[in-house]
Structure 1
Amino acid sequence: MQAAIAEASTRTSVDFDYLMAQARVESALDPSAKARTSSAAGLYQFTNQTWLNTLERHGATHGLGWAADSISSSGGRARITDPSMASAIMELRYNPEAASLMAGELAGDNADYLQQTFGRAPDHTELYLAHFLGAAGAREFIAAHAADPGREAASIFPRAAGANRGVFYDNGRARSLGEVRDLFAAKMENAASGQGGFGSFSSHAGGWGAPVMQTASAKASATPAARPSMAQVLTSTFGSNTNSGSAPAHVASAYSKIARFGL
């Protein structure tokens, strides 16, 4: 897992410590993790829509053009245009290399957005807020926190709070923006030091489940199931002739690149 995250950090120029901490928070480093109350899955708990949107934007950069070319967006929603590709595309969320690369790209997108908005680089807590609430939600949170950190966070994010009471409430008492931020900061610090993710939020272990969220946290299983490599996914999708003349040229090219990388 560490090797996949390190490679993604290098190739996306996103801080390794952040990506490692995020993976610990999201899935406890279990690439087979699946949320119970949302579509979130894999090492970084990508929901269906966030996965498709990110893969469409950045897949081609990392040899996944065959997947990106099969995704189309309209009206803010992404969909797979070729049903025969659906399983292979969504299965990539469970591949540590693919998931780490897309997590790095998404973090980079969020960091750029927040940098442009506030004129400074976001810290790890703010970057995770963008992962948790979406970039626009993080922008609203950071601005509101700067204006009044004592304001109840749930009053600004009612849908998020309804789906994540363990984050926005403490034994029924609404947490302030400052308290929510401190909660995330502590979780990221603990994860960076090798401790677990959101297990203490027992009422939401296994997934957030609100449309406003981009991802969902999930508890790791005791023995993560083995998942196929990207090369194996391509082979299972296009058959054993993937690297011969019978597969589409862009697929054969992707297979060759992925096989060389050992993914």
Structure 2
Amino acid sequence: MTVNPITTGRIQSAIALASSKTGVDFDYLLGQAKLESGLNANAKAGTSSASGLYQFIEQSWLSVVKKHGAEHGMAWAANSIGQSSSGRLSVGDAGTKAAILALRNDPNAASLMAAEYASDNKASLEGTLNRPASGTDLYMAHFMGLGGATKFLKTMQANPQASGAALFPAAARANHNVFYDSNNQPRTLSAIYDRFADKLGGAAAGASTTATPANYAAQALDMNGSTVITGNNESADDALAWATTAMNKFTGKTAQTAVNVLRPTPDTARLAYMMLARLGG
């Protein structure tokens, strides 16, 4: 068993696989990951719950995993997520919740869920706008939420010179540099959109031409062809010890015992995902 860093090459391979499985454009997914995390699978925002390659906040991640997780070998996670009458998502067991949220740091899981999220937004935007959705449209949906992006794009079609800050005052207060220029003048909707388009295109081009893999804080365990991502603030040694102990639980066990061990408990949720991924789920 060896410990390998998550490199840019591994991340790009995960994004390519997600693109192939979902049909979402590779360059868009690559550019989005570059913008959101700098291709750092273990990136974490300091001011929100956003984490991972695509900086999913907790509720957005639980939503997309609940909807699409079972399609990609994460049925244990999808089936563990409940929804209240108000629409808020939750996981009853704290350990299982932590394991589900930790999947945001797995390049394969994060890329697949980001692609599914983009695909859902694409279908909705195209139905509303009556035109094909571009990569920039999809990034607007990621940045502002589907409702905000729909409002932004429909208003821009009718009045591209409208002030973005006037239309979205709360978002402008939280993202001053997006809605205002260096002279503190409000940007128009078309200017905001064009700025995102330039950044998204530049990020994809810059990421795709990176020749030297970069190592990041997140680590991966290579165990006989299976991959385990270390938890938050978990050392490689601790992760190796966890994986060894978890796998040893299966030695000499009956089928019924193995089923019990595979339930998504705090100790086994990551192991379950590892085994499903190994089987091609």
TM-score, normalised by the number of residues in structure 2: 0.77
Specify the code of the residue in structure 2 equivalent to 1:123.
S
**C-alpha deviation, 1:86, in angstroms:** 1.6
Deviations 1:157-209 (A, max 9, x none): 1111111001001131111101101110110111121169xxxxxxxxxxxxx
Q: Deviations over 1:109-141 (max 9, x none)?
A: 100110111222201111110111111111100
2:218 paired residue among 213, 216, 226: 226
Structure 2 residue identity aligned to 1:60:
A
Report the structure number with the largest CA radius of gyration.
Answer: 2
Matching residue of 1:186? 198
For the structure 1 residues 233 and 30, does the alpha-carbon distance in structure 2 shift closer, same or farther, using more than 3 Å as the test? closer
Map 1:11-22 onto structure 2 (within 5 A).
11-22=21-32
Structure 1's unaligned 5+ residue stretches are 197-221
Match of 2:246 among 222, 239, 247: 239
More moved, 154-163 vs 78-87: 78-87
CA contact (8 A) 2:228 2:274 kept: no
> Does 1:257 pair with 2:276?
yes
User: In the alignment, is the contact (CA less than 8 A) between 1:125 and 1:181 conserved in 2?
Assistant: yes
Structure 1 residue 225 displacement after superposition? 1.1
Say which of 148, 163, 175 aligns to 1:164: 175
Aligned-pair RMSD on alpha carbons?
2.6
**1:65 touches 1:254 (CA, 8 Å); kept in 2?**
no
CA distance in structure 1 between the partners assigned to 2:98 and 2:25 by the alignment: 31
Structure 1 residues 17 and 242 mapped into 2: Cα distance closer, same or farther (>3 Å)?
farther
C-alpha distance in 2 between matches for 1:193 and 1:231: 28
Aligned length: 237
Q: 1:156 to 1:242 in 2, by over 3 A?
A: farther
In the TM superposition, what are the counterparts of 1:48-59 in structure 2 within 5 Å? 48-59=58-69
Structure 1 residue 76: Cα displacement: 2.1
Distance 1:242 1:169 in 2: 58
Query: Is 1:25 aligned with 2:35?
Result: yes
Change (3 A) 1:129 1:67: same
Q: Kindly state the Cα deviation for residue 250 of structure 1 after the two structures are TM-superposed.
A: 7.3
SS at match of 2:278: helix
Does structure 2 conserve the Cα–Cα contact (< 8 Å) formed by 1:94 and 1:227?
no
Gaps of 5+ in 2: 1-10, 209-213, 231-238, 265-270
Distance 1:107 1:242 in 2: 38
- Tell me by how many angstroms 1:78 deviates: 0.8
Query: How many Å separate the matches in 2 of 1:186 and 1:195?
Result: 14
Identical-residue share of aligned pairs (%): 42
